[in-house]
Amino acid sequence: MESMLVDPVKVEVERLQVKTKMSKILFEASRRRTPWGVHSNYRFIDPYPIYFNRGEGSRLWDADGNEYIDFNMAFGALVTGHAHPKLTEAICDQIRKGTVYGFESPDCDELAKIITERFNVDMVRFSSTGAEGTMHAIRIARAYRNRSKVLKFEGCYHGSHDGLLVSVHPPKEKQGDPRRPNSVSCSPGIPEDTIRNTVVAPFNDLEATRTIVETYRDDLAAIILEPIAMVMGFVPGTPDFIRGLREIADETGAVLIFDEVKTSGKFYHGVSDYYHIEPDVKVLAKAIAGGYPLSVIGGKREIMEKIGPGLVAHAGTFNSNPLCVRAAIVTLKEILTEDAFSRLYKLGALLAEGYQRIIKSKDLVAKVQWGGISGNIMFTDKDVTDYRTLQMASIGKWFAYFVAMLNRGVIPFGTAPDEQWTISVAHTEDDIKRHLDAFDQVAEIVRGVTEELPSIEAL
């Protein structure tokens, strides 16, 4: 990849290599025992992943001791910031009492009460990860409707399990008609029968979705989506689109599932409140437990009561472990409060509007899409509304932007152009100013990039 870069970008890559020598050493050692030197594919970046060993507040420190203002925040899991003192105290106290019992604890119902009231669901089941949550959600929907097929949207990601690892980053030659996309496997090892049971529709195109649904309506168990797609950067479903999906689900009997793995911790009541539309099932995770691994399947009573011994399987040794349950209670009651979100929304506007101002002043071809505490910059002259428009954005310019921002002590968002920034309770107006000061310098570098890198599906 590096040989394709224009000179200013080569300078930035070389500068990053000089300041992260220990990461390179760690990478070379790790790759002998770990494929690509990482334990999640999304952590690999070119020329090598950066290794971090400490986080506090809005800051991360890498293995070489370099300090960064972190706007990735563990891909949105840390709206509490790193090592929040209230969480640290609560977790240390819980560790002394035990970290996993293999049985239920009294705290579980307290957390269930908090979640049912805050996120407007009747009943909940706890798991550990977002991927587990979406996996179980579609199993529950299939059992509830006694149907096989699930409809998802092109470019949307719902975790790395077979049933939904379809058409997340499909290459152009396999995508098919934009209004009737092919179901494209995202990984070797997924059975063809699984792929056939996952139907793909274009995001934000209600008419095309209706047509596709009509083909499968008698066997359609569920429709699953992120109402704000956050593995396409930051792409909100239009109100008409989200409302239309609710109508389609009602007409066909399909279970409407909102994947709120990210958005449950980015809006006080989650994204359902943002749209004023309720699904049948919600999957909540990431930030709701302050960065500790807890996910929630929540939904209507008649659907959730399909779970149980002799009914729909849902189990896990670490489900509802007292450590993560306590973390979620403290996070939702004491840290991610309505007052906290009110302040964070203001910081979000400050960052997004600052980006827009700099883009205009530098005559840079770029779009900022944002809402609440998250957003993304895409180097394109078109609004990104779905996966096909996402592919029009420049990957070369994004790579220059990302590396140059790291060199200026800012992690702008996740390690791919289709991620987004997250503002935490630990961030300050000064952090926002330093982020924008860095981008003001970086914009000049980005504007000069003319050579392109491989398309987004290769990253």
Whether residue 353 sits in one domain with residue 273: no
Whether residue 22 sits in one domain with residue 50: yes
Whether residue 427 sits in one domain with residue 278: no
**Number of domains composing the chain:** 2
Domain boundary among the residues 335, 369, 394 is at: 335
Domain boundary among the residues 295, 314, 335 is at: 335
Whether residue 180 sits in one domain with residue 156: yes
Whether residue 64 sits in one domain with residue 28: yes
How far lies 296's CA from each of 38, 116, 124, 130, 411, in Å? 27, 10, 6, 8, 29
Whether residue 28 sits in one domain with residue 71: yes
- Per-residue pLDDT at 452: 67
Distance of CA 427 to the CA centre of its chain: 19
- Per-residue pLDDT at 274: 85
Whether residue 348 sits in one domain with residue 324: no
Domain boundary among the residues 335, 369, 403 is at: 335
CATH number at residue 104: 3.40.640.10
Say which of 262, 266, 282, 286 is annotated catalytic: 286
Whether residue 274 sits in one domain with residue 264: yes
7 is catalytic: no
Whether residue 422 sits in one domain with residue 301: no
- Per-residue pLDDT at 457: 53
pLDDT in tens, 183-209: 999 999 999 999 999 999 999 999 999
* Structure tokens belonging to residue 329: 């209670």
Would you write out the chain's pLDDT as a tens digit for each of its 459 residues?
444 555 788 899 999 999 999 999 999 999 999 999 999 998 998 899 999 999 999 999 999 999 999 999 999 999 999 999 999 999 999 999 999 999 999 999 999 999 999 999 999 999 999 999 999 999 999 999 999 999 999 999 999 999 999 999 999 999 999 999 999 999 999 999 999 999 999 999 999 999 999 999 999 999 999 999 999 999 999 999 999 999 999 999 999 999 999 999 999 999 988 899 999 999 999 999 999 999 999 999 999 999 999 999 999 999 999 999 999 999 999 999 999 999 999 999 999 999 999 999 999 999 999 999 999 999 999 999 999 999 999 999 999 999 999 999 999 999 899 999 999 999 999 999 999 999 999 999 999 887 666 555 544
Whether residue 346 sits in one domain with residue 303: no
259 is catalytic: yes
CA distance 186 to 454: 17
Q: Which residues span the domain enclosing 125?
A: 85-335
Query: Which strands, in side-by-side order, build the sheet including 367-371?
Result: 367-371, 374-378, 421-422
Say which of 48, 144, 157, 292 is annotated catalytic: 157
- Per-residue pLDDT at 454: 57
pLDDT in tens, 112-125: 999 999 999 999 99
Model's pTM, two decimal places? Answer: 0.95
Whether residue 116 sits in one domain with residue 74: no
- Per-residue pLDDT at 9: 87
Whether residue 97 sits in one domain with residue 62: no
152 is catalytic: no
Say which of 62, 259, 418, 431 is annotated catalytic: 259
CATH number at residue 379: 3.90.1150.10
